[in-house]
Chain A
C-alpha cells in the first residue's frame, strides 16, 4: 500500500470512514487466548457484550467462536462467563503452549 503524502491528508486527522477499526488488526498483542468450551456455553452472550473489541462472533443469537484478529487476550469474557453449572465456557490459555 502506498502511504499518503502530507498534501493528501484529511485536515485534523479526522477519519471519514465509519467503523474502519476492522482494518486495524490487534490480535498479535495477545499473551493469553480465550478458548471456547462449547459444551459449557449457555449463549447468554455476556462475552459478546463485555468484549471491548469485536472478537466474539455471534450468529442468530448464538455464540459461534472467537475472532482472534481482534482479541487482545484481556480476559474479560472469561471473567464474566457464567458457564453451565459452575463449569466455565471460556478458559484463558497461554499463547505458545
Chain B
C-alpha cells in the first residue's frame, strides 16, 4: 500500500528524518515507537503533507503514486488519513458541516455522488456509535471546548466517516484515560479490514495492548533502528529505549 524509501526531511533547516525505509501492506498494522524527539510525529506529518516540513531526499509511493508530489487534500482524496496528535479547533463551524464537506470532496474526487444532508446525517449517527459519541457533538463547533479525550474520539469518528485506506494515528493515546483509550482503540479495531492499513505512532506500549500491531519499528534519531513483531513493544516497555541505544552503541 505504501512504500517509503530513504526518506529525509527537515524542519526549519534541521534534519529530523534521516533515511526512513518502511513498507506497509493492506491489512497490516504497523507501530512506530521511539523516544521523544526521535522523529515519529514528523514522519506522520510528512506523510500527510504538512507544509512546515521539507522533504530533502527519498520517495514515498502510495498505491504506486508519488505521494510527495501531492497536495495534502489530494492525499486525503487518495485515502491517507492522519489522526492528529493535537486536533485543531475551528470555531463556528459545526462538526457535521466540516465532516460532510470533507467527505463530499473525497467522494467527488473519486467520481462518487455527494451525500445530501439526510444521507450524511444517517451515516454520521451510525459512525458515532463506533466511538460511543453523544449526538450533541453533531452540532458543536469542530473541537472547540472539547476535552482532550473528546478531541481524540472525534478524530476516530472522522476516520470512521472518511474510511481511509491508510490511517496514521499520531500519539492518539496521549492525554487519554484508560476508559477513553479503550473506546478509541475499539473504534480503530472495528474499522480494521483486509483492504486498509494502519500506522500507529506512539511513545508507550500501553496503546498496543488494545491495538495489536503486526509489526513494531523503533525510531531513534530519525532512523528505524529495529523492527520486529508485537513482542518488540513489550521488550521496549520492560527495558526502556536505553537498551536499543546500547545495542546501537555496541554495533557501532
Do A and B come from the same complex? no
